[in-house]
Amino acid sequence: MIVDDHKQVRDSVARLVRSWGHEVAVANDSPTALLLADEFKPDCAVVDLSLPGMNGIELARRLRERFSPAQLYLIAFTGYADADIRDSCLEAGFDIHLVKPGDINLLEVLLGNDRANPRA
């Protein structure tokens, strides 16, 4: 699942992830993402932090109430690179914090089978 309020980013990431053979659902805001997650049951979500209304950190907290880390791998995908934001992401339940534009090769690995060692 890709959650980003910027259509170009959302569509580009979705297209890329589909090219790797994954089924993808997209949402442009947190309320839509929560409804979609309940229906789609994603095993991974790539979430922007700067979302209208409910930000990505609160969305991560709510997704963690619904899905355990074993069920849903949460990737924060944001333009915010500072350590405080990264720490807030991890505290909210994200598994990893990636800074846009991001490392496409790392994202592909994270969406694959070797999440235990994302630099493998």
CA distance 46 to 111: 10
- The verdict on residue 50 lying in a domain is yes
- Report pLDDT digits (tens) over 62-100: 999 999 999 999 999 999 999 999 999 999 999 999 999
Residue 33: how many CB atoms within 10 A of its CB?
Answer: 27
* Cβ burial 88-114 (10 Å sphere, 16+ → b, else e): bbeebbbbbbbeeeeeeeebebbbeee
- The verdict on residue 24 lying in a domain is yes
- The verdict on residue 98 lying in a domain is yes
CA distance 118 to 120: 6
- The verdict on residue 23 lying in a domain is yes
Q: Report pTM.
A: 0.90
**CATH at residue 64:** 3.40.50.2300
Check if the beta carbon of residue 43 is closer than 8 Å to that of residue 71. yes
Specify the amino acid at residue 6.
H
- The verdict on residue 78 lying in a domain is yes
Residues contacting 107, CB < 8 A, separation 6+: 16, 46, 75, 98
pLDDT given at position 7:
96
Q: Which of 4-18, 23-37, 97-111 has the lowest mean pLDDT?
A: 97-111
The total of structural domains in the chain comes to 1
- Report pLDDT digits (tens) over 30-53: 999 999 999 999 999 999 999 988
- The verdict on residue 45 lying in a domain is yes
Residue 21 is part of which domain span? Answer: 2-110
